[in-house]
Structure 1
Amino acid sequence: MPSYIFLGILYFLPYSLNFPNDLAWRFLAMVFMTTFLIPLMGVLLLNFTKTISDLNMSNRKERFFPFVFISLFYIVTTYLFWQKFRFPPLINYLMVSMTLSIVVLTIISLFWKISAHAISISGAAGVYFALILQEEPSQLYLGLALSFALCGVVASARLKLIAHNSSQVWAGLLLGFLLNFIMILILNV
């Protein structure tokens, strides 16, 4: 989801990051690698070593360790973005917000199976909505509309696959949206 969020911002609000085109694409590749590819390889390794029984992590008790791994990786990535690379503040705020989402998801997974997919996609909608409220009217409305449409698709898919019940999906949608919306409103002043 961070790649989707940053792609939307680079496309719809390019002035907010002030990146030249070549740097923007290198940044997006770095985000994709550090927030998707490396965590994915970690989860695949956990599946290969039979630490988790399947990639869907259907068993709630098996979700904690992979989410701890992903949380730690996001924390390290956020730290590097903030302290070492000195990216524009909005990037740092977004990384803090998304990292907090993963950490909260990890904590909740100790007690209950909440939809990580719902938290993720609705978090993007929360980020876009907060940015729309803070920025001048922009093309970001299209990104927000697409995010809300994807929320419906993802929620329906999780229910259709019987991966979650409706309360797990709704809780994920609400948590992801509210957490990211509030964090961006507070941090990006």
Structure 2
Amino acid sequence: MNYRKIANLLSWVLHPFLQPIYLMAVLLTMTTFAHYTTGMKFYLMWVVVLYAVVIPLLALGVLHSLGRISDFRVDDRRERILPLLIGAVCYVLCAVTFAKIPSAIFLRKFMVAAACCELMCLVVSLRWKISLHLTGMGALVALLVVMNIVGVGNMLIPLMVTILCAGALASARLYLGCHNGAQVLAGFCGGFAVALLAVLFL
């Protein structure tokens, strides 16, 4: 088996850009948000795709064309500052959009948590490299734990799947040599702690 190809596939399938989309898919099908109309679900998903994927990707393209980043993987921690700042702003704008829907307050909290995780990674990246992939997975695990506790849906299976995916992704990032053990662990624990605190207190 070509383990490098598998590791690369995991890195792309579980990319931080895609993680919010997976979470929204779970929320809109397996929780109380499943009662939204099809039109509302489409609108919410489009908002997340726009702010979590489309705008950040366009921003990376502009930064690359200006020579501010060397490639779209942004492996150099010093090149991560602007992309992370843009990502944080995008999540804040997404949260503001969700705030216009009174029943979507939980979704707004999730976007605020994502923005806080981006800012945490930005601050850390000033001095040290942290795993953005595992930060996102840690945040997802924290959010699913909260949903299980507050009872918005039975998130036990998605939580188990997410934990397994986090372990597989951590192994993939280590195998590819993108991070060391400390960077992977710091990413997961940091994402978990920041997302948990943001949802509970913001």
Do the structures match in fold with TM over 0.5? yes
Deviation digits for residues 131-181 of structure 1 (CA, Å, limit 9, x no counterpart) = 101116x43111111111110121111111111111000000111112223
* Structure 2 alignment gaps of length 5 or more: 1-18
Q: What is the TM-score of this pair, normalised by structure 1?
A: 0.88
Q: Give the SS at the match of 2:74.
A: coil
After TM superposition, give the deviation of residue 62 of structure 1 in Å. Answer: 1.0
2: CA distance, partners of 1:142 / 1:182: 23
* 1:123 match: 139
* 2:150 match: 134
Say how many residue pairs are matched. 184
Q: Answer yes or no: is 1:114 the counterpart of 2:130.
A: yes
Over 3 Å counting, the alpha-carbon distance change for 1:135 and 1:186 in structure 2 is farther
Out of 7, 20, 35, the position equivalent to 1:2 is: 20
- Which letter maps to 2:173? R
1: CA distance, partners of 2:60 / 2:111: 21
Q: Is the 8 A contact 2:47 2:94 kept in 1?
A: no
Q: Give the SS at the match of 1:111.
A: coil
Single out whichever of 73-82 and 3-12 deviates more from structure 2.
73-82
Taking every aligned residue pair, what percent have the same amino acid on both sides? 24
Q: Is the 8 A contact 1:130 1:182 kept in 2?
A: no
Superposed structure 1 runs of 4+ greater than 4 Å apart: 84-87
Task: Output the aligned Cα RMSD.
Answer: 1.9
Out of 4, 23, 27, the position equivalent to 2:44 is: 27
Q: Answer yes or no: is 1:143 the counterpart of 2:161.
A: no
Q: What is the TM-score of this pair, normalised by structure 2?
A: 0.83
After TM superposition, give the deviation of residue 53 of structure 1 in Å. Answer: 0.9
* Structure 1 alignment gaps of length 5 or more: none
Out of 169, 175, 179, the position equivalent to 2:190 is: 175
2: CA distance, partners of 1:87 / 1:139: 19
